[in-house]
């Protein structure tokens, strides 16, 4: 199969032929339908980030993955071939260290990806792979900040600083839970306009002198 792989020592990225993996005990093989491009992937390529627990010097990148299960490993009974799923982007290794898909073990920039059956979540037929793929990162990251860190509740007010890939989803999630006032802050006009379109009540430029007053 074809896979997009990076050699960490040189940061060289190339699409190359690699053996098609087979699902093992407790695993599923997924035919990739879509894989997101995260800024973390860019930082892996430019050397800003490095794998923490990669064995070897090469890895298939991509940690935002959605697709269809096409092979079941032994002792997997909760899923069927043909199930549409997203992949949770990390797991604990044998040393109980938290490792990241596409950094520490092969990810989704490939025709197929292997993961533990316990790390996939079914998605409905109505959700396109291109939209589903980003849920394990670009959506779940702001959701964790909102629900676990800030413990936001309906009726409360919130400000989102930076309306990029995570921020725009934070605005939408805050709207879903029923925040009474959602304030978006970003120096870019297009970002502020987009935030207002998806649910922010106010959008401000942090360099605005009137705002500072």
Contact (CB, 8 A) for 35 and 109 = yes
Nearest alpha-carbon partner for 53 in 5, 94, 12:
94
What was the pLDDT predicted at 211? Answer: 76
Determine how many CB atoms are found less than 10 A away from the CB of residue 49: 15
What was the pLDDT predicted at 135? Answer: 96
Contact (CB, 8 A) for 39 and 165 = yes
Residue 175 sits at φ, ψ, to 5 deg, of -65, -40
* Residue ending a domain, choose from 132, 162, 177: 132
pLDDT band at 210 (very low <50, low <70, confident <90, very high): confident
* Residue ending a domain, choose from 132, 147, 164: 132
- If asked whether residues 22 and 120 sit together in one domain, one would say yes
**For a pLDDT cut of 90, what percent of the chain falls above it?**
96
pLDDT digits (tens, 9 = 90+) for 13-44: 999 999 999 999 999 999 999 999 999 999 99
Q: What CA–CA distance (Å, rounded) separates 124 from 132?
A: 10
Positive or negative: CA dihedral 115, 116, 121, 122: positive
Contact (CB, 8 A) for 64 and 38 = yes
Q: What CA–CA distance (Å, rounded) separates 104 from 100?
A: 5
Q: What CA–CA distance (Å, rounded) separates 12 from 3?
A: 14
**Averaged over 172-177, what is the pLDDT?**
97
Q: What is the domain range of residue 178?
A: 135-212
**For a pLDDT cut of 70, what percent of the chain falls above it?**
100
What was the pLDDT predicted at 4? Answer: 98
- If asked whether residues 11 and 102 sit together in one domain, one would say yes
Question: Ramachandran region of residue 190, left (φ > 0), alpha (ψ -120 to 50) or beta?
Answer: alpha
Q: What CA–CA distance (Å, rounded) separates 118 from 171?
A: 30
Matching residue, tokens 């990739």: 32
pLDDT digits (tens, 9 = 90+) for 54-85: 999 999 999 999 999 999 999 999 999 999 99
pLDDT digits (tens, 9 = 90+) for 104-113: 999 999 999 9
Give me the CATH number covering residue 183.
3.40.50.720
Enumerate residues 6+ apart whose C-beta is below 8 A from 17: 1, 2, 3
- If asked whether residues 80 and 117 sit together in one domain, one would say yes
- If asked whether residues 68 and 95 sit together in one domain, one would say yes
* Residue ending a domain, choose from 107, 132, 157: 132
What was the pLDDT predicted at 161? Answer: 97
Across the chain, what does the average pLDDT equal? 96
- If asked whether residues 28 and 108 sit together in one domain, one would say yes
Pairing of strands 65-72, 84-87: antiparallel
- If asked whether residues 48 and 139 sit together in one domain, one would say no
**Averaged over 154-173, what is the pLDDT?**
97
Give this prediction's pTM: 0.87
What was the pLDDT predicted at 213? Answer: 66
Q: What CA–CA distance (Å, rounded) separates 108 from 41?
A: 11
């Amino acid at each position: 199969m074809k896979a997009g792989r990076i050699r960490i020592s040189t940061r060289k990225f190339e699409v190359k032929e690699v053996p098609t993996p087979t699902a093992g005990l407790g695993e599923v093989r997924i035919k990739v339908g879509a894989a997101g491009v995260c800024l973390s992937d860019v930082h892996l390529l430019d050397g800003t980030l490095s794998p923490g627990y990669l064995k070897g010097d090469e890895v298939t990148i991509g940690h935002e993955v959605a697709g269809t299960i096409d092979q079941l490993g032994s002792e997997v009974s909760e899923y069927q071939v043909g199930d549409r799923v997203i992949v949770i982007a990390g797991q604990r290794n044998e040393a109980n260290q938290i490792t990241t898909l596409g950094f520490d073990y092969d990810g989704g920039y490939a025709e197929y990806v292997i993961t533990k059956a316990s790390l996939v979540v079914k998605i409905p037929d109505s959700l396109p792979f291109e939209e589903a793929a980003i849920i394990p990162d670009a959506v779940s990251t702001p959701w964790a900040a909102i629900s676990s860190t800030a413990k936001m509740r309906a009726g409360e007010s919130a400000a989102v600083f930076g309306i990029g890939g995570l921020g725009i989803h934070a605005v939408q999630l805050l709207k879903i839970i029923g925040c009474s006032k959602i304030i978006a802050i970003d120096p870019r006009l297009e970002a502020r306009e987009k935030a207002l379109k998806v649910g922010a009540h106010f959008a401000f430029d942090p360099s605005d002198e009137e705002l500072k007053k």
